Amino acid sequence: MASLWRLSVLCGAQGGQALCLRFPAVRPAYVSAFLQDQPTPGQCRTQHIHLSPNHHAGSKAASLHWTGERVVSVLLLGLIPAAYLNPSSAMDYSLAAALTLHSHWGLGQVVTDYVHGDALQKTAKAGVLALSALTFAGLCYFNYHDVGICKAVAMLWKL
């Protein structure tokens, strides 16, 4: 990478444009079409390589998703003490929904960051979706047929 940078410095020097156009070794290897910028006019055919695809740039949906994640996180900060102070069925189901959604988004981000390959990433995201659905169903079942999340946590703290 340093050698490519030094070669680009040479291309920026006076008369360097002809040097860059003659030798193909000066241009960086093409990683893939969607990871690179178009060359700027007057520059030495260098291209910037991005680490992640920018397919959500300027998307309002991505911004709303980010805001939703933050709202659920802040909601959990108030919901957990409220559930401790006022254990009820509504609190149990609210906790089940908020905790499941929060963990689903967190695990989805882990898959996005660490699982590579389209087919493998789709499979992992389907697994996260199935795990989240199973978790929510299990928490709802526990709330309906047993003591509920709030009372269960209180019982654990009594031990």
| Torsion angle in degrees (nearest 10) through CA of 120, 123, 124, 125 | 120
Residue 78 within a domain: yes
d(CA 30, CA 36): 8
Residue 97 within a domain: yes
Q: Is residue 48 a known part of a binding site? A: no
Q: What are the DSSP calls for 79-133, one per residue?
A: HHHHHHHS--HHHHHHHHHHHHHHHHHHHHHHHHHH--SHHHHHHHHHHHHHHHH
Q: Is residue 114 a known part of a binding site? A: yes
What tokens were used for 63? Answer: 């911004």
Residue 110 within a domain: yes
Residue 134 within a domain: yes
User: Distance of alpha carbon 34 from its chain centroid, rounded?
Assistant: 19
Residue 99 within a domain: yes
CATH code, domain carrying 77: 1.20.1300.10
Residue 20 within a domain: no
Residue 59 within a domain: no
Domain that holds residue 80: 69-157
For each of the chain's 159 residues, which pLDDT tens digit applies? 444 444 444 445 454 444 444 444 444 444 444 444 555 555 555 555 555 555 555 578 888 888 888 999 999 999 988 988 899 999 999 999 999 999 999 999 999 999 999 999 999 999 999 999 999 999 999 999 999 999 999 899 888
d(CA 149, CA 105): 21
Residue 58 within a domain: no
Q: How many domains does the chain have?
A: 1
pTM value is: 0.60
